[in-house]
Copies of this chain bind each other. A is one copy, B any other.
């Protein structure tokens, strides 16, 4: 029995997120079917996290156990051959039999992309959240630093998930801008349900001059979901990297 680790890029536009379900196509379901066609085995693909409907990934990590004799690096091409064009295996490799994509993950980086102009976009519309009103980027950049550290992020968690603790560490949060495109990058040891999208929604409150950057600390300390910003749409979100 071997353990195969996959690095996967996908465009989440046409999927109901990562996790298998009966209502429609998912990334996990589509990949498992492709791998089963190849290995003729009942494999189970373990993912590093559950991304929501419409969320994208540049380097999602997953692993599966197999008795197949296909060389580890050949899985990439063989699986890609059976996948639709919106899911691509970037790398396939053999790892220790005990490696677990989810349990062993030490951290993740996500990006969130915004187009800030008066009219919504045609090009890249599945990857960009449109904001009409000119954002105060300097204030948003200033606000980032108040998120960095180890806190109880209960105020930045949607209901519907059960986790032991809401304490998480944000290692980095920064904003890049080029013309009308704003990209927010966040790195942490783990994220609560919808946490990245609510952090972005809260940064937008700062960008719209509704709250001051330093008020972020009060929102974190309140542990009150009502005090934080909206959960912005999924399509702007991309899983950039998983750390082990």
Contacts from A to B (Cβ < 8 Å): 9-11, 56, 58, 76, 80, 85-90, 119-125, 127, 238
Copy tally for this chain in the complex stands at 2
Task: Report whether B124 and A124 are in contact in the complex, using a CB–CB cutoff of 8 Å.
Answer: yes
Separation in Å of the A231 CB from the closest CB of chain B? 22
Separation in Å of the A6 CB from the closest CB of chain B? 12
Contacts of A121 in B (CB 8 A): 9, 88
Separation in Å of the A87 CB from the closest CB of chain B? 6
Bound CA span A87–B119, Å: 12
Contacts of A9 in B (CB 8 A): 121-123
Task: Report whether A88 and B124 are in contact in the complex, using a CB–CB cutoff of 8 Å.
Answer: no
One of B11, B76, B88, B122 near A11 (C-beta < 8 A): B122
Task: Report whether B124 and A86 are in contact in the complex, using a CB–CB cutoff of 8 Å.
Answer: no
Pairs A–B under 8 Å by Cβ, sample size 15 = A9-B122, A10-B123, A11-B122, A11-B123, A11-B125, A56-B123, A58-B123, A80-B119, A85-B122, A86-B122, A87-B122, A88-B120, A88-B121, A89-B119, A124-B127
Contacts of A86 in B (CB 8 A): 122, 125
Bound CA span A54–B80, Å: 24
Task: Report whether B11 and A119 are in contact in the complex, using a CB–CB cutoff of 8 Å.
Answer: no
Separation in Å of the A27 CB from the closest CB of chain B? 10
Contacts of A124 in B (CB 8 A): 11, 124, 127
Separation in Å of the A109 CB from the closest CB of chain B? 14
Bound CA span A91–B169, Å: 44
Nearest chain B residue, comparing its CB with the CB of A84? B122
Contacts of A120 in B (CB 8 A): 85, 88
Nearest chain B residue, comparing its CB with the CB of A125? B85
Separation in Å of the A179 CB from the closest CB of chain B? 11
Contacts of A85 in B (CB 8 A): 120, 122, 125
Nearest chain B residue, comparing its CB with the CB of A85? B125
Separation in Å of the A100 CB from the closest CB of chain B? 24
Task: Report whether A123 and B127 are in contact in the complex, using a CB–CB cutoff of 8 Å.
Answer: yes
Contacts of A11 in B (CB 8 A): 122-125
Separation in Å of the A110 CB from the closest CB of chain B? 14
Task: Report whether A119 and B76 are in contact in the complex, using a CB–CB cutoff of 8 Å.
Answer: yes
Separation in Å of the A244 CB from the closest CB of chain B? 21
